[in-house]
Each structure stands twice: as structure tokens, then as C-alpha cells.
């Protein structure tokens, strides 16, 4: 006769019962979504040559419109990564790390157009990288 061990129901899903860092992964997913949305808006404003950017700024590569297209594309990719990270997909997590890293580098080149905003977004990118790198790995046993 086989014996079965029954565990009492604790009210939480067993997959997330010992989820160390699950809150940080949710935070990273939301942060990726916010960064993606901000970059979409920033990129569209740059493409339209909005008046919010510094006039007569000199860029290392390209012009304001070129960087606007880059920010728009990165914003869309960040939104896709946010959905994947929220679904706890490891490929999406690594993709998110790559996109956030590229965004931090891209924002460094965007500093002549909008200095304070670019530096603030770089700081948020660093926080998102920390959350994705430290808490996004496989479950520890």
C-alpha cells in the first residue's frame, strides 16, 4: 500500500512559495516598462525636433533625429523585454539586460540634447540592471 504525503495548503502558489527576489523581478519588469515608455516618448519628441531639447547641440555621431529613432527602437524593445521578464522568461531577462545596457550607452550620447533627463535615465538603467542581474537567475535550492 502506497503512502502519500499531503502538504497543507498555505494559500500561495507552490512555485512562488520560496521565490527569493521575486519582488525585485517584478520591480525590474515594471522598471523596464517605464523605461521603454519614457524612451518611446523621448524618441518621438526627438524625431519631431521638439523644442524641449537643447538648441544647436553637437553630437558625436548623427543628429537629433538619428538619436530619436534609436531611442524609439530601444523603447519598443524594452517594452517587449518587460513583458518577457514579467512572465519570468530567462531569455527575456538576458535580452532585457542587453537592451538596458545599450540604453545606458545610448543615453550617454543623448546627453547633449537633454542632459539632466539622460543622466536620470542612466541611473534608472543601473538600478534595472542590478535587479535583473542579481535576482533574475535560476531558483536557488
If you average pLDDT over every residue of the chain, what do you get?
A: 82
Which pTM was predicted? Answer: 0.76
**pLDDT for the residue 45:** 86
Does the pLDDT of residue 120 top 90, yes or no? Answer: yes
- Burial code of 57-69, b = ≥16 C-beta within 10 A, e = fewer? eeeeeeebeebbe
3-state helix, strand, coil split of the chain in percent (to 5) is 65, 0, 35
pLDDT tens-digit series, residues 22-78: 788 899 999 999 999 999 998 898 888 777 777 677 767 777 788 889 889 999 999
Amino acid at each position: 500500500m502506497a503512502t502519500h504525503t499531503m502538504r497543507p495548503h498555505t494559500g500561495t502558489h507552490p512555485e512562488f512559495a520560496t521565490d527569493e527576489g521575486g519582488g525585485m523581478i517584478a520591480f525590474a519588469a515594471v522598471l523596464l516598462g517605464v523605461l521603454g515608455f519614457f524612451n518611446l516618448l523621448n524618441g518621438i519628441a526627438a524625431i519631431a525636433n521638439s523644442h524641449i531639447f537643447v538648441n544647436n547641440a553637437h553630437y558625436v555621431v548623427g543628429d537629433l533625429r538619428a538619436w530619436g529613432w534609436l531611442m524609439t527602437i530601444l523603447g519598443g524593445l524594452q517594452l517587449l523585454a518587460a513583458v518577457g521578464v514579467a512572465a519570468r522568461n530567462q531569455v527575456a531577462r538576458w535580452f532585457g539586460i542587453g537592451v538596458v545596457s545599450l540604453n545606458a550607452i545610448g543615453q550617454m550620447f543623448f546627453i547633449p540634447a537633454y542632459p539632466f533627463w539622460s543622466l536620470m535615465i542612466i541611473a534608472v538603467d543601473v538600478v534595472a540592471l542590478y535587479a535583473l542581474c542579481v535576482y533574475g537567475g535560476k531558483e536557488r535550492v
